[in-house]
Amino acid sequence: MVNPMDKFTEKLPQYLEDGLTEAETIELEAHLADCAVCQAEFDALTRFDRLLASAPMAAPAPNFVAVFETKLERRLNRRRTLLGVLVIGSLLTAFSAVLVWGVFVSGAELWQWLSAGSLWQVGFDIFNGLVVVGVTIGKIAAITFDALAKLMRHPALWGYVSVGVGLVWLWVQLFRWTNFARQPVAVRSQPSA
């Protein structure tokens, strides 16, 4: 740390990649012989090469090919399944569209009730009820009961809800399958020096 880096220090990487002229090489080598800073830098720059020389090609586990075959088989099956899910998913979507269309007539009646402002009334009631907790609980119970009683008279809504839930679930599954290429990657702590 006594000497600062000199103009030769910066040339060392080029020297290592045979990027210097012959004259420059001779000059640098002469300097390198008695400059501690450049020697330290040279050591650092070639540390990798020295480690590499002692690192042979690493071999995989003996069952590598067998494990590969199992994984490939599983992947191919999954691709087939994915195709199946896509076909069934499309069929189900089409089917539920027909179903929704079928209940649309009673659905229209339901929509009338919803848009007649009843919901606003319910919200307003709940807001009022918040002032006194006891009253609120009672009102919520009463309103919920009332709403449920009303909804019971409109089976179409249950159709909508269950078809909706089913479709969401189905497409979530689909996404899951299409994500098949992603594998969880374990994060390991790096070896500390």
Partner 1 sequence: MSDTVAADAPNLKLESQWIARARQGDQTAFSQLVTVYQKPVFNVCYRMLGNRADAEDAAQEAFIRAYLKLDTYNTDRKFSSWLFSIASHHCIDRLRKQRMKLVSWDDLPPWNWIPAKKSEQPEAVMVENENTRELHALLNTLPPDYRAAVVLKYWHEMSYDEIAASLDTTVSAIKSKLFRARKMMAQAAKKKEAPSAAVGITAPLTVL
Contacts to partner 1 by CB under 8 A: 1, 13, 16-17, 40-41, 43-45, 47-48, 51-52, 54-55, 57-61, 64-65, 67-69, 71-73, 75, 172-173, 175-176, 179, 183-188, 190-191, 193
Instruction: Quote the CA–CA distance of 37 and 8 in Å, as a whole number.
Output: 10
> How far apart, in Å, are the Cα atoms of 158 and each of 151, 155, 162, 165, 167?
8, 5, 6, 11, 14
Q: Among residues 1 and 133, whose Cβ is nearest to partner 1?
A: 1
- Applying CB under 5 A, the site for Zn ion has a residue count of 5
Among 35, 156, 157, 163, binds Zn ion (CB under 5 A): 35
| Helix or strand run (H / E) with residue 139 | helix 133-152
Q: Which stretch binds Zn ion (CB under 5 A): 7-15, 62-70, 112-120, 179-187?
A: 7-15
How do the residues of the chain divide into helix, strand and coil, expressed in percent and rounded to 5?
75, 0, 25
Burial 142-176 (b: 16+ CB within 10 A, else e): ebeeeeeeeeeebebbebbeebeeeeeeeeeeeee
d(CA 118, CA 165): 25
- Shortest distance, position 89 Cβ to partner 1, whole Å: 16
When CB distances are held under 5 to 8 angstroms depending on the partner's kind, the choice from Zn ion, partner 1, none that residue 35 binds is: Zn ion
Q: Write down the least CB distance from residue 32 to Zn ion, Å.
A: 7
Residues 6 or more apart in contact with residue 130 via CB below 8 angstroms: 136
Residue 7 interaction partner, one of partner 1, Zn ion, none, beta carbon < 5-8 Å per kind: none
Q: How many Å apart are CA 179 and CA 109, to the nearest integer?
A: 41
- Position 8 contacts Zn ion (CB under 5 A): yes
Question: Which of residues 115 and 190 has its CB atom nearest to partner 1 in the complex?
Answer: 190
Interacting residue with Zn ion among 11, 15, 28, 38 (CB under 5 A): 38
Residues that bind Zn ion (CB under 5 A): 6, 8, 35, 37-38
